[in-house]
């Protein structure tokens, strides 16, 4: 009896252990097929295809999936990242910058009145479906985006970026797009638009194959066809997107990779584990906490995205006493930006002085920030009529979600709360769920001061200053409800001015006005971190969050 | 038996209708402007208004509900706002991924849990019993998130035994047919890939299966102890039957009935509650699908997703009830 019992006991235990993964014998045995994987423990396990020889497939890990693969109907960065590989626009940004350069259009001419742009298109370019790229294709795309009754605007689609960059229906900037001949296309504008070329270069205005749009209809958003370096192959939602090399790509020698697989791995630390384990080659959005691990690994390298964003605290002008400039200035003096950067950004940020990043043209270097000075803050508060600090607690909205410009809003809010406490300003931090948060700050009824941020869409100061602080952006992105007529005149004037030097001057003046009025406390411009295998070369991170994978190769 | 089955299936309808009503009211009570959330900060006011019209958000919610139900009756599960794709078409791969993960987790939980429970009862108050029950206690109170990350750290990062994320090796992809990858690789006869797919399943199914495993172990133990003290077991023992046969043949059958209930309930719970596991292990399942729909206020997806989960849950419970009769002939549904 006992013999049977003991045997059963052993069998059951053994089976249980094997199932629970403790039975390592099986697994180690089978990793043998990785071809003598005796790498040092701190280097990632090399996968069969990658060991030894240089690889030609890139696996990228990112936090979220695309919403759609048709760039015209999306506004989220994750969707645009993929679209950037499949589509080309007439113009593009020089890698790593927000400077415009030729792409599908080789050259362009602008009339002196700024009302007509003529583009010469690159000859001999073909879409992935084999059809020709030409002036007619450009016309087709722009008509599709601008005509609200277009038969190629499918149910539920809206061309938001087109509306926001070139004005909504009824006040369009672009009057007409004409095919002059096979390789020449002319844009006629209703009014001059200074950032026109910057806008045209956006990924969202990538040129789609008219034949594919007509044929695939609604399904085009799942099976995109452009002229880009990579051809769309497969999309497993929330899992991966596979892109193949465009062997007939019109830019010679590109792309260098044979295949790109973009995986969605929502958890930051799991993504980092996957990178260390060799399951992916490149990852986006590294947590500042993982920076030291990354830096100590010789198999991995750190990649920094140029700072092109701003995180800020906005004062709600609808609430007293934040309509008082002295109060706003006083609180501005009482924020220790450097300490916040050291504590919560692992140094991967710089203190913000203006509402736009210093890398953008038109940035005003001579604007002086409100230095951290609690005595001065107290004095200013007294001047404003509050010698003992503010009588009521202030409601401070802190972001409940992690954003590229603000990894942990609540912690930063707590640090600021502690500083303000010292000058007699009590704060209550609130972090409602993100959708509610955006709703509340837009209505401006519940928050006194709110935390928010912005990543630039294109390389134009207009996309920061006008979009976020002009009175036209109420209700909307101007959640401070800040109105300054002089600023409005400057910003709208700058939109119509076509001379970049003159525009630059106007934006510099605008930044001075904004600093004096202090509708915001600009906090930081962050440097988003990526990490990749050390032998991954040719990746140039773009400021707006999209970049070509066509130059990437493995050494 | 058949009439019972028909009766049970008929009961499904009011349950599911009640479910739609509850889900519909709850998600419409969540604050936040869906148009803003769906389209993002960068969308224009005009397109937000257009979306509100399109979704019928400007209509009274009762009317919205009836419109929704009307579509549902006609077999239209709705269209996702975020991806603009019909949900019926979109949800299948997610559902398959979750079913595969749930099945693997429950296989693990049941096999380990039932055997641990039996052995604990059999060797009551032995070192095995104490250890198993302590492990079970830790198991029920283990945060899935933490367990998952620790597994990754140990088995993927330190030991390199198992992959940390995803469902397969993307460098050597599996051709998908049913979206149940284990089945797909078997159908294709790709045994090497079958092994990679199973390796990808191991860590997430342990993370997800640990809590049910612990619950099942405790349930089995107490149920077995009760049965082991009954007269017919004493008789069987007295007749000199081997301990193994007594336990696994005679006692187990009767002890299994309450355990079966727990297994059914746990399977249902895992179906929808796998969000954390799916997030950590980048598993493209239905839990994450619904979770993302919630955070982007994708109403149609939330509604339909929850409804489908509820439907499967009810079906599993029905199956459990039918299994009772198969195990114990004394139970019959007349």
- Tens of pLDDT, residue by residue over A309-324, are 999 999 999 998 999 9
Residue A59 backbone phi and psi in degrees, to 5? -115, 120
| A502: confidence class by pLDDT, cuts 50, 70, 90 | very high
- Has residue A201 got a pLDDT over 70? yes
- Interval A5-16: pLDDT, tens: 444 444 444 444
| pLDDT exceeds 50 at position A35 | no
Q: What is the ipTM of this complex?
A: 0.82
Angle subtended at Cα A121 by Cα A119 and Cα A126, rounded to the nearest 5 degrees: 150
The distance of B118 to chain A (nearest Cα, Å) reads: 10
* Chain A residue with minimum CA distance to B30: A436
In this predicted model, what pLDDT tens digit does every residue of A388-421 receive, in sequence order?
889 999 999 999 888 888 988 999 999 999 999 9
The reported pLDDT for the residue numbered A41 is: 36
Q: Cα-flanking dihedrals φ and ψ of residue A72, to 5°?
A: -70, -25
Q: What is the pLDDT of residues B211-238, one digit of tens each?
A: 999 999 999 999 999 888 888 888 888 8
Task: Give the list of residues 6+ apart from residue A219 with CB closer than 8 angstroms, or none.
Answer: none
CB contact under 8 A, A271 and B165: yes
Q: Element (H or E) spanning A3, and its range?
A: helix A2-19
Torsion of Cα atoms, B90 then B94 then B99 then B105, to 10°:
-170
Report helix, strand or coil for B72. helix
Question: B280 vs A9: CB contact, 8 Å cut-off?
Answer: no
How confident is residue A2, by pLDDT bands cut at 50, 70 and 90?
A: very low
Long-range Cβ pairs for the range A277-280 (8 Å, 24+): A277/A44, A277/A45, A277/B156, A277/B157, A277/B160, A277/B163, A277/B164, A278/A44, A278/A45, A278/A46, A278/A47, A278/A50, A279/A47, A279/A59, A279/B163, A279/B164, A279/B165, A279/B166, A280/A59, A280/A60, A280/A61
Instruction: Look at residue B49 in the predicted model and tell me its pLDDT.
Output: 80
Least-confidence region, from A139-153, A415-429, B218-232, B295-309: B295-309
Among A75-84, A377-386, B199-208, the least confident range: A75-84
Interface touch A439/B282, C-beta < 8 Å: no
Q: Which helix (H) or strand (E) holds A150?
A: none
Q: What's the angle, vertex CA A7, arms to CA A5 and CA A10, rounded to 5?
A: 110
Is B56's pLDDT higher than 70? yes
Nearest-Cα residue of chain A relative to residue B155: A21
pLDDT of the residue at A238: 86
Whole-prediction pTM = 0.81
Closest approach of chain B CAs to the CA of A137, in angstroms? Answer: 25
* Burial call A481-507: b when 16+ CB within 10 Å, e when fewer: bbbbeebbebbbebbebbeeeebbbbb
Closest listed residue to residue B296, CA positions, set A435, A510, A209 = A435
Task: Retrieve residue A434's tokens.
Answer: 């993100």
Average pLDDT over residues A162-179: 87
pLDDT at B19: 85
Tell me what the mean pLDDT of segment B55-81 comes to: 83
Residue of A nearest to B31 (CA): A436
Residues in chain A: 555
B286 and B250 Cβ atoms separated by less than 8 Å: no
Residue B42 pLDDT level (bands cut at 50, 70, 90): low
Residue A161 DSSP label: H
Closest-CA distance of chain A to residue B79, Å: 9
Between residues B295 and A462, the one the model is more confident about: A462
pLDDT of residue A32: 33
Span A251-261, pLDDT tens digits: 988 899 999 99
What pLDDT is recorded for position B334?
56
- Written as six digits, the tokens of A322 are 């934040």
| Alpha-carbon gap, residue A127 to A130, rounded angstroms | 5
CA-based nearest residue in chain A for residue B148: A270
First to last CA, chain A: 65
- Mention every residue, 6+ apart, whose C-beta is less than 8 A from residue B218: B117, B133, B136, B140
Q: Which of A24, A158, A264 sits opposite B161 (nearest CB)?
A: A24
pLDDT at residue B241 tops 90 = no
* Residue A161 predicted with pLDDT over 80: yes
pLDDT at A51 over 60: no
Whether A46 shows a pLDDT value over 60: the answer reads no
CB-CB neighbors (< 8 A) of A545 in chain B: none
Flag whether pLDDT at B176 surpasses 70. yes
**Rounded CA gap, A301 and A304, in Å?**
10
**Which pLDDT score is estimated for A16?**
41
Rounded percentage of chain B residues whose pLDDT exceeds 90 = 20
First to last CA, chain B: 6
pLDDT in tens, A292-312: 899 999 999 999 988 899 999
Q: Is the CB of residue B169 less than 8 Å from the CB of residue A33?
A: no
Please check the confidence at residue A471 and state whether its pLDDT lies above 50. Answer: yes
Mean pLDDT of B306-328: 83
Residue A442 CB-density burial (10 A; 0-12 exposed, 13-18 middle, 19+ buried): buried
As to burial, measured by CB atoms within 10 angstroms (0-12 exposed, 13-18 middle, 19+ buried), residue A173 is: middle
* Phi, psi dihedral angles at A186 (to 5 degrees): -120, 135
Question: With bands split at pLDDT 50, 70 and 90, how would you rate the model's confidence at B292?
Answer: confident
Q: Residue A41: list chain B partners with CB under 8 A.
A: 158
What are A88-128's pLDDT values in tens digits? Answer: 999 999 888 888 899 999 999 999 988 999 999 999 999 99
Q: What is the mean pLDDT of chain A?
A: 86
Q: For chain A, give the percent of residues with pLDDT over 90.
A: 62
CB contacts of A237 in chain B (<8 Å) are 83, 90, 93-94, 284
CB contact under 8 A, A236 and B292: no
Taking residues B20-42, report their average pLDDT.
75
Q: How many CB atoms lie within 10 A of CB B109?
A: 29
Reported as a single tens digit per residue, the pLDDT across B138-165 is: 988 888 888 999 999 899 888 989 998 8
Q: For B51-74, what is the mean pLDDT? A: 81
- Residue B57 exposed, middle or buried by CB count within 10 Å (0-12, 13-18, 19+): middle
CB-neighbour burial class of residue B329 (10 A; exposed 0-12, middle 13-18, buried 19+): exposed
């Amino acid at each position: 009896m006992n013999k049977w019992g003991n045997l059963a006991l052993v069998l059951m235990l053994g089976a249980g252990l094997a199932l629970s993964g403790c039975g390592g014998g099986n697994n180690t045995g089978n990793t043998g097929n990785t071809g003598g994987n005796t790498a040092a423990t701190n280097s990632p396990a090399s996968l069969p295809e990658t060991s030894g020889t240089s690889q030609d497939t890139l696996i990228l890990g990112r936090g979220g999936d695309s919403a759609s693969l048709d760039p015209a109907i999306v506004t989220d960065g994750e969707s645009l990242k993929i679209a950037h590989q499949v589509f080309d626009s007439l113009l593009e940004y020089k890698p790593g910058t927000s400077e415009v350069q030729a792409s599908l259009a080789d050259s362009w001419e602008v009339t002196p009145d700024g009302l007509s742009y003529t583009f010469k298109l690159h000859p001999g370019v073909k879409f992935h479906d084999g059809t020709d790229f030409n002036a007619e294709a450009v016309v087709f795309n722009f008509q599709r985006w601008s005509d609200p009754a277009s038969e190629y605007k499918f149910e539920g689609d809206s061309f938001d970026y087109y509306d926001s960059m070139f004005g909504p229906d009824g006040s369009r900037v672009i009057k007409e797009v004409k095919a002059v001949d096979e390789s020449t296309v002319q844009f006629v504008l209703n009014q001059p638009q200074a950032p026109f070329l910057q806008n045209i270069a956006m990924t969202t205005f990538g040129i789609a194959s008219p034949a594919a749009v007509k044929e695939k209809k609604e399904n085009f958003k799942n099976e995109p066809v452009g002229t880009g370096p990579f051809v769309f192959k497969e999309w497993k939602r929330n899992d991966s997107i596979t892109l193949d090399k465009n062997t007939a790509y019109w830019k010679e020698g590109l792309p260098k990779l044979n295949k790109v697989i973009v995986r969605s791995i929502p958890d930051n630390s799991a993504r980092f584990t996957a990178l260390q384990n060799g399951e992916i080659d490149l990852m986006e959005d590294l947590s500042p906490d993982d920076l030291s691990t990354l830096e100590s690994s010789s198999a991995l390298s750190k990649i920094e995205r140029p700072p092109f964003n701003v995180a800020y605290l906005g004062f709600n002008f609808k609430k007293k006493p934040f309509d008082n400039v002295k109060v706003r200035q006083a609180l501005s003096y009482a924020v220790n930006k450097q300490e916040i950067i050291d504590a919560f950004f692992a140094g991967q940020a710089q203190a913000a002085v203006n509402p736009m990043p210093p890398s953008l043209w038109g940035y005003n270097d001579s604007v002086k920030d409100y230095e951290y000075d609690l005595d001065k803050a107290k004095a200013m508060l007294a001047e404003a009529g509050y010698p003992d600090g503010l009588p009521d607690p202030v409601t401070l909205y802190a972001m409940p979600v992690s954003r590229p410009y603000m990894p942990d809003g609540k912690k930063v809010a707590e640090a600021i709360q502690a500083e303000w406490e010292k000058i007699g300003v009590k704060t209550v931090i609130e972090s409602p769920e993100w959708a509610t948060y955006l709703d509340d700050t837009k209505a401006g009824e519940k928050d006194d001061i709110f935390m928010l941020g912005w990543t630039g869409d294109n390389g134009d100061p207009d996309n920061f200053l006008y979009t976020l602080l002009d009175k036209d952006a109420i209700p909307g992105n101007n959640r401070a409800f800040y109105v300054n007529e002089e600023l409005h005149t400057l910003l709208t004037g700058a939109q119509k001015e076509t001379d970049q030097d003159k525009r630059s001057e106007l934006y510099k003046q605008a930044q001075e006005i904004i600093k004096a009025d202090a509708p915001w406390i600009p906090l930081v411009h962050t440097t988003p971190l990526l990490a990749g295998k050390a032998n991954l070369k040719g990746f140039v991170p773009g400021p707006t969050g999209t970049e070509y994978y066509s130059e990437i190769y493995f050494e | 038996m058949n009439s019972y089955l028909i009766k049970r299936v008929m009961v499904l309808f009011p349950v599911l209708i009640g479910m739609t009503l509850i889900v519909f009211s709850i998600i419409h009570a969540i604050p936040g402007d869906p148009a803003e959330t769906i389209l993002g900060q960068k969308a224009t006011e005009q397109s937000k208004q257009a979306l509100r019209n399109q979704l019928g958000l400007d209509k009274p919610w009762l009317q919205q509900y009836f419109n929704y139900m009307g579509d549902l009756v006609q077999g239209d599960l709705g269209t996702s706002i975020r991806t603009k794709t019909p949900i019926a078409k979109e949800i299948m791969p997610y559902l398959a991924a979750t079913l595969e993960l749930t099945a693997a987790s429950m296989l693990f939980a049941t096999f380990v849990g039932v055997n641990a429970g039996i052995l604990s009862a059999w060797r009551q108050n032995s070192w095995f019993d104490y250890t198993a029950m302590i492990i079970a206690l830790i198991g029920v109170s283990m945060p899935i998130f933490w367990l998952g990350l620790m597994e990754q750290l140990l088995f993927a990062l330190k030991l390199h035994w198992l992959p940390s994320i995803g469902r397969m090796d993307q460098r050597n992809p599996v051709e998908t047919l049913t979206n149940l990858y284990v089945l797909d690789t078997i159908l294709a006869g790709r045994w090497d890939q079958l092994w990679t797919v199973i390796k990808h399943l191991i860590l997430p199914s342990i993370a997800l299966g640990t809590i049910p495993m612990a619950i099942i172990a405790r349930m089995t133990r107490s149920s077995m102890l009760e049965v082991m003290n009954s007269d017919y077991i004493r008789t069987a023992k007295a007749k000199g039957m081997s301990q193994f046969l007594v336990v696994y043949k005679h006692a187990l059958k009767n002890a299994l009935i309450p355990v079966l209930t727990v297994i059914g309930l746990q399977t249902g719970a895992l179906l929808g509650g796998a969000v954390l596991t799916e997030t950590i292990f980048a598993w493209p399942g239905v839990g994450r699908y619904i979770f993302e729909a919630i955070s982007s206020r994708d109403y149609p997806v939330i509604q339909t997703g929850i409804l489908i989960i509820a439907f499967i849950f009810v079906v599993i419970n029905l199956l459990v009830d039918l299994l009772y009769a198969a195990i114990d002939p004394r139970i019959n549904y007349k």
